[in-house]
Structure 1
């Protein structure tokens, strides 16, 4: 096989990248940190901005995870989601998506614990906001969401008049559902432990409210990688980090006072950097 550019992702495939690119006299591009291999061994390294790597070698820092979606794709995904078997569309509130709050829940990590107490409080904040603005919510768990949290979501939301859909990763097909939820949303609420979920939400161009789950002891007294990332997003205007008690009012403000929200485009820097190699 012949290649002008060899692309790999992560440390495990980085040695293969160097071997194949050397054999083909091709450019080598690595996504994420290839440690223990040094970045200078590659023609280009696309490294997440929240990773702490030395500024040596041909590095391009990218915001978060690589994701790209257009407004047209989001609209089509929203139409598909409205035909999901768990979707309840018995009224016209969803018309135009102006009063839809989409909630993306992650799960447990080394530094965070998604507890039932936290999720119950978050859902209460969202439902109070929906009551105040005459809106509805769409809620999804992820494959990392604990079973007791999913049971809570089912009990609280499966028949709640302000919830048009609750998707449980252990019960429902999730392929493409997050894009659909973003397409229908006026506001997005996302838990902050997942860099990929936060990135996907910010790529939608919707107002994004980020709430951190409780920290485990391993995260006490330190700034976690997701926190560094969200702070940078907030500085650039892509997201707003909140305490749990602030979610209700923040949703109401976002709907009552809509403002243009920039769309996170991690691919722009990637396209430019790769084009320079050709």
Structure 2
């Protein structure tokens, strides 16, 4: 969108100028992009993407200096100058001081700030926070509680990806099962033992159906876990290794072409996108025994395979996991997260099961997280509704129900 120009809505009101702030986490970027695309598709609001690189010292400068750009490496980051936006969409700790700096520069102009996920600054500094259960934020008029993260699954996108990639996978027998790999998350480690278990269970899953696997890694997938997975893989498969500079990525094609999906339980964004397809989703537990994600740990221990030599000695990841568990017990709660809450929500609503459990016979219900978020953001520009944007989003859910 050219600087200084606003597009017009069908009502005649000027569409707000929107800046979308991206960061270093793919999951955060995907969520803010999903919200921006939702606003564009449903309300006709265009957006401009701002990208940033950060200094290694950004944590200290952000904590000590408040709203600032000290933590930003200007070379390689987007230029920030007037005309200032009417709306900022952001996620992640590192962008918060940048967004608040923009608000300060735009003196006399209302710059609404929408944050996706969990904030580190005080809640009242944001016009709207779109959050999910693992962050355990309080009930406030400016906090919209969605069951799952925002997702970019759209029918037209899936159709286009299926048409583009389908012929490449024609040699693989159906049904096709997508395997979506994440990485380490808090107390849960994607180590070689987990990579071996995933390959064994996914291979058995595909072979029992006479099908094949569509496997993708992500930015967080540890190389040693992937190597262990490849060694244990025993089914027809197409494996895509994620790289930052890849010219093409079959991720959405996998979503479109798969009959069922297996997703590692660490990534709430990838789980949400898989569930948004309304296909059977199977959650892979990265942990075992007392390290299991699933709360019925006794069953997880009973199902644990014996993998000789797959895990030897004390690993740094387990020390990190121990520290994370201790932090979970120290207030405030909103500074930590418990992804098991989302797992339970997905299972209780019939959208997913743990890998190895039977999937419900009925079609999973649709997700309305994007629709709810769009309604809440729109409410920020709607007079009295701006005082309680969360209520506007929640009304969408009640109407759909």
Q: Same fold (TM over 0.5)?
A: yes
Contact 2:194 2:225 in 1 (8 A): no
Q: Distance in 2 between matches of 1:174 and 1:226?
A: 32
Corresponding residue pairs, total: 256
Q: Residue in 2 aligned with 1:59?
A: 143
2:197 equivalent in structure 1 = 121
Shift of 1:228: 1.4
**Which of residues 28, 33, 37 is equivalent to 2:118?**
33
Equivalent residue, structure 2, for 1:9: 91
Residue 240 (structure 1) aligns with: 353
The answer (yes or no) to whether the contact 1:30–1:45 under 8 Å persists in 2 is yes
Distance 1:41 1:276 in 2: 17
* Per-residue CA distance 1:7-32 (angstroms, 9 max, x = gap): 33344234235425653134433333
State the match for 2:263 in structure 1: 190
Equivalent residue, structure 1, for 2:177? 101
Instruction: Trace 1:40-189 onto structure 2 (pairs within 5 A).
Output: 40-82=124-166, 89-90=170-171, 93-94=173-174, 99-157=175-233, 162-169=235-242, 173=246, 175-189=248-262
Question: Higher relative CO (CA 8 A, sep ≥ 6), structure 1 or 2?
Answer: 1
Do 1:130 and 1:136's aligned partners in 2 also have CA atoms closer than 8 Å?
Answer: yes
**C-alpha deviation, 1:207, in angstroms:** 1.1
For the structure 1 residues 274 and 22, does the alpha-carbon distance in structure 2 shift closer, same or farther, using more than 3 Å as the test? farther
The C-alpha deviation readout for 1:155-175, integer Å capped at 9, x for no partner, is 444xx5x32301223699485
Per-residue CA deviations over 1:142-184 (Å, capped at 9, x if unaligned) read 2222222222333444xx5x32301223699485422111111
Contact in 1 for aligned 2:177/2:258 (Cα 8 Å): yes
**Which segments of 5 or more consecutive residues in structure 2 lack a partner in the other structure?**
1-82, 292-317, 330-336, 382-401
CA distance in 1, matches of 2:127, 2:135: 19
Q: Compute the displacement of 1:64 (Å).
A: 3.4
Q: Following TM superposition, by how much is the alpha carbon of 1:109 offset from its aligned partner in structure 2, in angstroms? A: 3.0
Aligned-residue RMSD, C-alpha = 3.0
CA contact (8 A) 2:103 2:111 kept: no
Number of the residue aligned with 1:274: 377
Aligned positions of 1:256-267 closer than 5 A: 259-267=362-370
Range that drifts further, 44-53 or 197-206: 44-53
Larger radius of gyration: 2
Cα distance change, pair 262–176 in 1 and its aligned pair in 2 (3 A): farther
5+ long unaligned stretches in structure 1: none
Bigger drift between 135-144 and 56-65 goes to: 56-65
